[in-house]
Chain A
């Protein structure tokens, strides 16, 4: 069964460092998303991406964050200068045609710990 894969599964970094989280969405999917979940809290939408540009972003997704689809298969989330409060599980998701006709498939998450 096709799946969304994320790397790394866990990353520990120092405050102020840049972090790149990588995702390989399901190959025929067109819509890509990043969500995050701070430990013990609800899942929060960060950004959606379609046709090589951001479709929508939340207020969490400030100038420190960026997304890219550099090579047609990977979908990356970059945090330029990490803060302690960026510590969370980051989930990548993809869907075939927007969730109206297709479900969101989530990866297993990348846990980011900022020290």
Chain B
């Protein structure tokens, strides 16, 4: 069975602190895809990153970075020098291989990040 665990329900930091959001996944598929989405208070879902299971390179995009480790089934997300605008709920999601019609995403419960001034 596929599962995504985001153990941190809520995190509160002060602006400019670095913060890491954890994501641990379970899957039996050898090909799979991992995602991070941001949900700001306005409610929409904003795509941040997609990573496939064959690409373990870490990715950096501005203040955002992602650490994918297959050995520990983790796909952690770090925000460097956090800002108040980063306050949101962050979801990690897992997608199976694009075989047949399986295109649904399995979502974690989300981590609510509050960045205080």
B-binding residues in A (CB < 8 A): 31, 33, 35, 41-45, 48, 50, 55-56, 58, 89, 91, 93, 95, 98-100, 103-109, 111
- Other-chain residue from B42, B46, B97, B107 in contact with A44 (beta carbon distance below 8 A): B107
- Beyond contacts A105-B47, A111-B43: 5 other A-B pairs, Cβ-Cβ < 8 A, are A42-B91, A99-B98, A106-B45, A108-B43, A109-B43
A-binding residues in B (CB < 8 A): 33, 35, 37, 42-47, 50, 52, 91, 93, 95, 97-98, 101-110
Contact indicator A45/B105 (Cβ below 8 Å): yes
Contact indicator A91/B45 (Cβ below 8 Å): yes
Contacts of B95 in A (CB 8 A): 99
Contact indicator B44/A109 (Cβ below 8 Å): yes
Q: How far is the CA of A98 from the CA of B102 in the complex (A)?
A: 9
Contacts of B47 in A (CB 8 A): 103-106
Contact indicator B44/A107 (Cβ below 8 Å): yes
